[in-house]
Amino acid sequence: MPAPPNAHRWLLPVLVVVVSLMVGGGLLARELYRLPDQQPDAILALPTSTARPPDQQPGPGTVELTPDAAAHPQHDAISQLLQTYFDSINNRDYDQWKTTVTRARIQAKSRAEWLKDYQSVKDGSILVYRIDTITAQDLRVLVGFTSVQDAASAPAELPGAACVQWKLSLPVTIEQGHWRVDSVAGYTTPEVARC
């Protein structure tokens, strides 16, 4: 016996609703169960609350990133920039340091002055917490690190401190097509604490 004419009229709308729900559910399930994007080039770390013993300060000189910092699209470039920046300080290599900073910073710090400022400094336990985009040409990088130096060379904020934990926001800008660390003075007040 043939179906009544009204039954065919409801079949198409019901079929459309059922198919739509199935497609929507499938897309939702795919998003919920999708594996997170991997960041194989970044060294991921989480902030640690355990202090290193004095004889193990300042810690390793490798730049590490929190998962938040590693999620930024420029994390590779910034990680490499900061690695070279800190390596130049630890190796007392002024020429290498000049490749990581803006012209304004180079002009503000002569080789002799730079070598004097960093003559006993060793930086380590370097962790990039965040990378924030300000404009297409400017970033702010929240970084923490530990610095050891002769007590006589301690920062003005902590006179006599041979080991200092720093946290500061570094302005990073594009200059001549490359990311460079810009001048910090006047822009931000670093957090400093004795180790």
My answer on whether 58 and 26 are in the same domain is no
pLDDT values of the chain reduced to their tens digit, one per residue, 195 residues: 555 555 556 555 555 555 555 555 555 445 544 444 444 455 565 555 456 777 788 999 999 999 999 999 999 999 999 999 999 999 999 999 999 999 999 999 999 999 999 999 999 999 999 999 999 999 999 999 999 999 988 888 899 999 999 999 999 999 999 999 998 766 567 899 998
Instruction: Take residue 113 and report the two structure tokens written for it.
Output: 């002055």
Structural domains counted in the chain? 2
Which stretches of the chain are assigned E, i.e. beta strand?
64-65, 122-135, 138-148, 163-175, 178-181, 191-194
My answer on whether 97 and 21 are in the same domain is no
My answer on whether 30 and 64 are in the same domain is no
Is 42 a member of any domain? no
Is 140 a member of any domain? yes
Whether the CA torsion 158, 162, 168, 172 is positive or negative: it is: positive
CATH of the domain at 104: 3.10.450.100
Alpha carbons 6 and 178: distance in angstroms, whole number: 70
Is 87 a member of any domain? yes
**pTM for this entry:** 0.74
My answer on whether 94 and 149 are in the same domain is yes
My answer on whether 69 and 98 are in the same domain is yes
Residues ≥6 apart with Cβ < 8 Å to 174: 137, 138, 180
Helix (H, G, I), strand (E, B) or coil at 183: coil
Instruction: Take residue 185 and report the two structure tokens written for it.
Output: 């003075």
Domain range for residue 10? 1-34
Is 99 a member of any domain? yes
